[in-house]
Amino acid sequence: MRRALIGAGLLAMWAGASALAQDPGARRVAGEGKQIYQRANCVGCHKWHGDGGGGYGGDALSLRKSELTRDQIIEVLRCGRPGTGMPYHLRGAYDGDECYGLTREAVGKDMPIEGKTFLRPSEIEAVTDYVIASLQHRGEPSYTDCEAFFGAGARTCNVYKTAAATPSGGTE
Ligand code: HEC
């Protein structure tokens, strides 16, 4: 019994310490990733919520429903996806054959378009981690998600508020 209590105490201490150790870094990466998500115009095609949909980039796939692994997402961001509207973000992506083993010549008319901005490898990782942490497998976009993106009380999010109508008769 005493042993178990001490064990639980240690576990709680350890969990607390590791949460503290991880948090600031995680927050920084999330913030940077979100900035890149906007700056590189992921938001233009996949939308703030990542569900994508029709637009000038064609049908951008839902990042919320994506089954890709972290490495696969990184590859898609670096290299784009040949023959689709998903642009590449690595400078000189097809100069050699580091993208799917394809050179510019080999990829030919399926050459993906160039991203709005090129991204450094660390930036590609940051935006990938943002996609994984804030969009992937997160279900339908909610009011809370919307506020997290646009800021507390953002008017753009009101549409999500009514969608999640309160049964107790909302105050607005
Ligand atoms: C010009 C529009 C456009 C922009 C900008 C864009 N995408 Fe895409 N993206 C697409 C389209 C279209 C697809 C679907 C490709 C296909 O059909 O396989 C896609 C696919 C993806 C996929 C693969 C999803 C899967 O499950 O296969 C990921 C991940 C992705 N985009 C992330 C991003 C991120 C992150 C950014 C910003 C750095 C971004 N995209 C910018 C249009 C865009």
Give the Å distance between the CA of 10 and the centre of ligand 1.
44
Q: Which of 89, 80, 74 is nearest to 120 (CA)?
A: 89
Does residue 46 contact residue 66 with C-beta atoms inside 8 Å?
no
pTM of the shown model: 0.82
Q: Which of 91, 90, 75, 80 is nearest to 113 (CA)?
A: 80
Q: What are the boundaries of each domain within the chain?
A: 23-136
Q: Which atom of ligand 1 is nearest to the CA of 131?
A: 35
How much is the pLDDT for 16? 43
Give the Å distance between the CA of 29 and the centre of ligand 1.
20
Q: Which CATH class is domain 23-136?
A: mainly alpha
Which residue has its alpha carbon closest to ligand 1 atom 36?
A: 42
pLDDT tens, 42-89?
Answer: 999 999 999 987 665 568 899 999 999 999 999 999 999 999 999 999
User: In which residue ranges of the chain is pLDDT below 70?
Assistant: 1-30, 54-58, 163-172
The whole-angstrom separation of Cα 163 and Cα 146 is 12
Give the Å distance between the CA of 39 and the centre of ligand 1.
15
Q: Is the dihedral of CA 29, 76, 47, 167 positive or negative?
A: negative
How much is the pLDDT for 145? 95
How much is the pLDDT for 17? 44
